[in-house]
Structure 1
Amino acid sequence: MTSAVRMERAHWVKLLQEKGLAPRTIETIYTVFASIMRGAVRDELIRKSPCVDIRLPYAHKTTIRLLTPEQVVTLHRAMLPEYRTLVLLGVGSGLRQGEAFGLARDRLDFANGMIRVDQQVVRVDSKPILGTPKSPASVREVPMPDFLAASLEKHIADYDPADVLFRTALRDNLIRRDYFNAKIWKPAIKAAKLPPDTTFHDLRHTFASTALAAGVPISEVSKWLGHESITTTVDLYGHLVPEASDRARKALDTAFRSAFDVH
């Protein structure tokens, strides 16, 4: 393979970085492209895949910050009234920020206590639009706890949204993440005296850790989070599964103690 081809591939990765894409996003793009190229080789459309020896930017391990119930309550109270329910939506259902911004009224099943996640707000040419979720696995249904259902019902009663639940107060537009984070989120976390780098994603982490601490199987949590692979969930939250070894010992003892007459 020529040095010119290697330079072109390195330039492609550099362009993705210059667009502001995160290392994990670049890795996802590369993985999809590499899969297409492998298919092209298999179908004999090209002789050799160009997706070899490409050095991708290093993806730092995700820092997991968990919020206490008291911190969530304080943050909820610090938010502007029209956006308060977003805090409970994040911590009560684990939705990603874009998914929360794109949640529509007809995706709420109050009778069965479920939320349908099948769209999110994305930016195209600096404009927020409704788009598809991050991956096919991100299209899902998640349980709606009572405290979240009550907050959503109040929000609907107060603001009567026609479709998407949360919009900008002045122009009734879809919410842009940069606007929300700078104008709404940052002032709220400052008022709540939370660390300045607290993110909306920390609510998602808190949702996952709370469910796991209560003994919910990690496979179910993975499905609710919309992860493509349970490996992602285990890598992020496996260490939060409480007393796994102790529970395993008790389960095995219960099953086999009498059979082997162990006292």
Structure 2
Amino acid sequence: MLRVAADVVLALGCGLRQGEVLGLSPEDVDFARGVLRVRRQVQLLGGRMYFTLPKGGKARVVDMPESVASALAEYFMEYPAVEVELPWGGPEPERETRKFALILTTTYGNAIRANLFNVQIWKPALAAAGVIPMREKGARWKASRKDGFHVLRHTYASIILEAGESVATLARWLGHSSPTITLDHYAHFMPESGGKGRKAFDGWLDPTALAMAA
């Protein structure tokens, strides 16, 4: 698997935010249980990168599909993790630093800057696939929420809900503080909204069944 492909696999297959993908360590991958432990993210502020807790200030455990586990195992064989040291909790120079072996790094062994990844890899890949127009020489990529890296997380959520997984479970995997937040964002992806309830009552109120009960 290509080095940059792991970013997409983790975001699409496990619903991680981009900063969480960039902060993932091999020690967070539990192949035996089939889960990922999301414990940190890499953020960028004022041109400086730093480690911090996932959004909401809480670590979480996310289900890892077999396809993702297989891709990661292949990736680990080709690209060993690299230890990276960054400030913890903010970009200020006086912050304490922490070291983590990161799954995804640059070819120079540094943490990946999300903004550079998006401009140099993500957007050109979308353009090459015909998803967005190729930018003119010297121009900037057009900013759009519809084709940002975060769309992979939305795709993950839609697939999970369409497969019939519960909102409460998805909320836990996404790291939402409440299932209500998940519903606000993704309720329209739930299959047969209202249909299951109608079918249940149709079964109870089936004329044949009522006749037999009488």
- Could you say which TM-score interval applies, normalised by the shorter chain? 0.7 to 0.9
Tell me which amino acid in the other structure corresponds to 1:96: R
1:194 matched to 2:115: no
Question: How far has the Cα of 1:86 moved from its partner?
Answer: 1.1
Question: How far has the Cα of 1:194 moved from its partner?
Answer: 1.3
Query: Would you say the 8 A contact 1:129–1:174 is kept in 2?
Result: no
Higher strand share: 2
Distance, in Å, in 2 between the alignment partners of 1:253 and 1:93 is 37
Structure with max Cα Rg: 1
1:121 matched to 2:42: yes
Alignment of 1:159-178 (within 5 A): 159-162=79-82, 163-169=101-107, 171-178=108-115
Query: Would you say the 8 A contact 1:118–1:140 is kept in 2?
Result: yes
Question: How far has the Cα of 1:239 moved from its partner?
Answer: 1.1
Distance, in Å, in 2 between the alignment partners of 1:214 and 1:251 is 19
1:112 matched to 2:33: yes
- Scaled by the length of structure 1, the TM-score of the pair is 0.64
Tell me which amino acid in the other structure corresponds to 1:177: A
Gaps of 5+ in 2: 83-100, 134-143
Query: Would you say the 8 A contact 1:105–1:165 is kept in 2?
Result: yes
Question: How far has the Cα of 1:125 moved from its partner?
Answer: 4.0
Question: How far has the Cα of 1:250 moved from its partner?
Answer: 2.4
| Residue of structure 1 equivalent to 2:11 | 90
The percentage of counterpart residues that share the same residue type is 38
Distance, in Å, in 1 between the alignment partners of 2:49 and 2:122 is 18
Distance, in Å, in 1 between the alignment partners of 2:73 and 2:152 is 20
SS of equivalent to 1:244: coil
Question: How far has the Cα of 1:248 moved from its partner?
Answer: 1.3
| Residue of structure 1 equivalent to 2:63 | 143
- CA deviation vs aligned residue, 1:118-157 (integer Å, no higher than 9, x gap): 1000124422121111114x52111111111111111111
| Residue of structure 1 equivalent to 2:198 | 249
| Residue of structure 2 equivalent to 1:74 | none
Query: Which of residues 161, 165, 170 is equivalent to 1:216?
Result: 165
| Residue of structure 2 equivalent to 1:155 | 75
Question: How far has the Cα of 1:253 moved from its partner?
Answer: 4.5
Question: How far has the Cα of 1:244 moved from its partner?
Answer: 2.3
- CA deviation vs aligned residue, 1:26-79 (integer Å, no higher than 9, x gap): xxxxxxxxxxxxxxxxxxxxxxxxxxxxxxxxxxxxxxxxxxxxxxxxxxx9xx
Tell me which amino acid in the other structure corresponds to 2:159: T
Question: How far has the Cα of 1:189 moved from its partner?
Answer: 1.1
Question: How far has the Cα of 1:252 moved from its partner?
Answer: 4.0
Tell me which amino acid in the other structure corresponds to 1:98: G
Which has the higher mean CA deviation after the structures are superposed, 86-95 or 244-253?
A: 244-253
Question: How far has the Cα of 1:251 moved from its partner?
Answer: 3.1
- Scaled by the length of structure 2, the TM-score of the pair is 0.78
SS of equivalent to 1:141: strand
How many residues are matched? 180
Higher helix share: 1
Distance, in Å, in 2 between the alignment partners of 1:150 and 1:261 is 50
Distance, in Å, in 2 between the alignment partners of 1:106 and 1:159 is 15
Question: How far has the Cα of 1:257 moved from its partner?
Answer: 4.5
Question: How far has the Cα of 1:262 moved from its partner?
Answer: 3.2
